[in-house]
Chains A and B, each alone.
Chain A
Amino acid sequence: MAPEAVLSHLHRADGSATYTYNGYSIIGAVNGPIEVQRRDEMPEEATVEVNVRPAVGVGSPKERHLETLLHRTLQSIILTRSIPRTLVQITLQVRSLPADDTSTGVNTSLTLLPHLLHTSILALLSASIPLSTTLTAIPVAIPSSSKSAPLVSPTANDLLRAKPLRSIHVFAFSGDRKLLLNESDGAFSYEEWDEAYEAAEEVCCREGGVRLGEGMDVDMDVDMDGEGKVANLEAWLREVVKEKVGREQRWRVAT
């Protein structure tokens, strides 16, 4: 159940990653630090530029909004002061969306946002851009019927079945478990928000917590130990980076 990630597969970009999960597939490329346009140059910081390209058609105001959110979040974790007067350019191309994405009735930019965040952090890691911390993000949906528990990291199909939904939340946590980004939409109380927060934190960064995919559907965790042997998303990210470093250090190990 863990997301799939392929790192550094584009040879012209400084760093790249393809991320596939739950029917979402996104290619990310990072160029940086590179020369910055005079107009955007900042004397003490690096400029961060994020471009989001949709799966179909050209960018719309919706993509601009996503870019703004990504820009603000990534700017807070990239050590922009250690590479002043340069540009870090992040391009994210949505390759495919789940088939039911538009019919779920929820704001589609919210369901896409965590995947864009993951792709960008993987691409930044692949490009070895100095970062202060990593991040993990997850969507949580609260269905209308008061008895059902929050859906953590629901697929488009889950959302369709759980319709009507009362609220949907996206949380992003840094490596030291601080809340970096939160987008919540719908009608909810603080207590519900808190519950969603807890559920999200559990999956993102709890030590030895539940595995991704557990708890939402009991019947599904049959093949859990074969495929998704990750404690949480944080551990998954660590695993991906470990693999990448291992591959880069191959020449040393082989002797």
Chain B
Amino acid sequence: MATQPQPVPALSFPRPIFAALSPHPFLAAHLASDKAIRANGRKPQEFRTPGINTGSLTHCNGSAVVRLGNTAVVCGIRAEILRAEDIANPIVTGVRREDEDGEEDDREEIEGLRLLVPNIELATGSAPSHLPGSPPSTTAQTLVTRIRSLLISAHLLRADDLRITYAPPVPEDLDTPDVEQEEEIKGYWVLYIDTMFLSLDGAAFDAAWCALLAALRDTLIPHAYYDSDLETILCSDDPSQARKLKLRGLPVPSTFAVFESTEGDKEGDSEREKAWVLSDPDAFEEGVCKETVTVVVDGSGGTKGQSEENVRKIEKSGGGVIGRENMKGLIKRGVERWGVWERVLNDK
């Protein structure tokens, strides 16, 4: 009874097990192949297609849901009133009008009074590494700091949009028409910008920022006025009197991750070393890439983003592959990506 000899099982794993056991060689094998395609089926330079839905939350002044592959973010903006008498050290007392070109240095006003309060939360189960019930993780805190710093440095919001002013009536017996009527600030709108990650699959900053941008563009601020008889600020409930925020520009971030073929300390075989710059990395790629670059580009100043001074922020850390020459290419890729986001944000 001679049985057929069983073929020795080859030492091979199915795809997901190979990826989980040795993620670095897994991605290296993909990229080093002739087609040079990433494990998620994208080309190294290919971004994910964004999807936006605005106005999905009814209790917010503005909201947006942004999807970027498997990354899904909800952003809600709530405006609340800060009364002028509650401000301990007023930074500006009188109303300053904008210059002709609409540029006004209102950074101190917005930053000093903390009129913008961004917050980021990772939902339970949004990412495997995120443990529910713990205090905000370092990832979340880092993201909030980056979002806040970009909000302020990009001068996105105008203090003029957030002020609640009151012009006291000129006494009729005083016949001085040439004296300009002095407006005084009675309060400010404070915007609470809460961002929630429903699912986190890489490029967290891009998704969070674009959700915030879409939500801000969707925000309606009710008409608020000071009632001198009641000595308080009242809001009109007429939706036709509500106004939108006038944002300055449209800064859009693009994140890149650098994947190096040699893992860890690269001593010796430097000639075999190769690096790929992956656009819009997902969570798996972020796990194996050490160096990341985020470029924030605003092309709204000129035609097709070719204007001068179109970069708003560059953040690069974790390695030394991206140097002076590569950065030019990344800014170009960022400008192209800006066009995609601009189309999506404008015709949602």
A interface residues (Cβ-Cβ under 8 A, vs B): 44-45, 61-62, 64-65, 67-69, 72-73, 75-76, 79-82, 105, 107, 109, 132, 164, 166, 169, 174, 176, 178-190, 192-194, 197
Contact = CB atoms under 8 A, between A and B. Distances in A.
Interface string B36-72: 0000000000000000000000000000000000000
Nearest to B107: A105
B153 A61 contact: no
Nearest to A194: B324
- Majority secondary structure, B binding face: mixed
B291 interface: yes
B311 A189 contact: yes
Interface string B114-157: 00000000000000000000000010011011100100110000
A247 to B, nearest CB: 30
B108 A105 contact: yes
A184 B313 contact: yes
A79 B266 CA distance: 10
A193 B153 contact: no
B320 A174 contact: yes
A64 B312 contact: no
Contacts of B308: 189
Given A81-B265, A188-B311, A189-B308, A73 B141 contact: no
21 contacts: A64-B138, A64-B145, A65-B146, A72-B290, A73-B318, A75-B290, A76-B290, A174-B320, A178-B323, A180-B319, A182-B314, A182-B315, A183-B317, A185-B149, A185-B153, A186-B313, A189-B311, A190-B331, A193-B314, A193-B327, A197-B324
B80 interface: no
A115 to B, nearest CB: 16
Contacts of A64: 138, 141-142, 145
Nearest to A197: B324
B142 A65 contact: yes
Nearest to B325: A194
B141 A181 contact: no
A76 B149 contact: no
B318 to A, nearest CB: 4
A69 B298 CA distance: 24
Contacts of B309: 166, 187-189, 192
B107 A65 contact: no
B83 interface: no
A193 B321 CA distance: 17
Interface string B140-179: 0110111001001100000000000000000000000000
Contacts of A45: 264
B142 A61 contact: yes
A194 B319 CA distance: 19
Interface of B: 105, 107-108, 138, 141-142, 144-146, 149, 152-153, 264-265, 290-292, 298, 308-324, 327-328, 331
Nearest to B155: A187
A107 B149 contact: yes
B316 A182 contact: yes
A105 B322 CA distance: 29
Contacts of B327: 190, 193
Contact of B310 (A80, A176, A189): A189
A68 B320 CA distance: 17
A107 B107 CA distance: 12
B316 A65 contact: no
Contacts of B315: 182-184
A160 B101 CA distance: 25
A179 B330 CA distance: 15
B49 to A, nearest CB: 27
Given A64-B138, A69-B317, A107-B149, A187 B290 contact: no
Contacts of B152: 107
Given A45-B264, A185-B153, A186-B153, A179 B322 contact: yes
A68 B291 CA distance: 13
Contacts of B105: 164
A188 B327 CA distance: 14
A76 B142 contact: no
A182 B309 CA distance: 17
B318 A75 contact: yes
Contacts of A190: 311, 327-328, 331
B231 to A, nearest CB: 35
A188 B264 CA distance: 34
A76 B141 contact: no
A68 B311 contact: no
A132 B152 CA distance: 37
A184 B142 contact: no
Contact of A180 (B292, B310, B312, B320): B320
B324 A179 contact: yes
Given A45-B264, A61-B145, A65-B141, A184 B311 contact: yes
Lowest 3 A-B CB distances belong to which pairs? Answer: A178-B320, A65-B145, A64-B141
A12 to B, nearest CB: 27
Contacts of B264: 44-45, 80-81
Nearest to A64: B141
